[in-house]
Amino acid sequence: MMIENKKKPNPIDIHVGSRIRLRRTMLGMSQEKLGESLGITFQQIQKYEKGTNRVGASRLQNISSILNVPVSFFFEDAPGEQSGALTGMAEASSSNYVVDFLSSSEGLQLNRAFVKISDSKVRRKVVELVKALAAEADAE
């Protein structure tokens, strides 16, 4: 039984890997580029992202620095996490919504383009435009 467990990735390792992949793709960074920054191969990054290989604490710290997110980002909505105990239930479901949005091709493209807009007034106008378009769609 012990040997069998070793072959199956831990659900937390799978989750952390998927969050690494999510953030890396949000930034438009390749596995090669992330691997280069860490001094490891892109194949190792693939194994981390699949959860096949466990990410050590110091390596996760390096990854969080390169991807510009706190280490806690990789554990958000992790399986078995008591999300209601640490955050409000609305906050937990809103972060799932963000992950779903950024997992879509359109959401990823929109996010990449939006973060390139340096003028905060223009960003607010884009948000107003999207809200107006959503309101029109709801009215139809």
Cα distance from N-terminal residue to C-terminal residue, the chain: 57
Give the other-Cβ count within 10 Å of 23's Cβ: 20
CATH numbers and ranges of domains, the chain: 2-103 (1.10.260.40), 107-140 (no CATH)
The DSSP secondary-structure symbol of 72 reads: G
Q: What is the pLDDT along the chain (140 residues), one digit of tens a residue?
A: 455 555 788 899 999 999 999 899 888 899 999 999 999 999 999 999 999 999 999 999 999 999 999 999 999 888 875 544 444 444 445 456 666 776 677 887 888 888 888 898 998 999 899 889 988 888 87
Q: Residue 135: its pLDDT value, please?
A: 86
> Pick from 58, 49, 66, 62: which is nearest to 15 by CA?
49
For the record, the structure tokens of 86 come out as 């640490």
**Tokens in use for 42?**
């892109």
Q: Residue 35 corresponds to which tokens in the numbers above?
A: 């691997």
Give 38's contacts (C-beta < 8 A, 6+ positions apart): 45, 59, 62, 63, 66
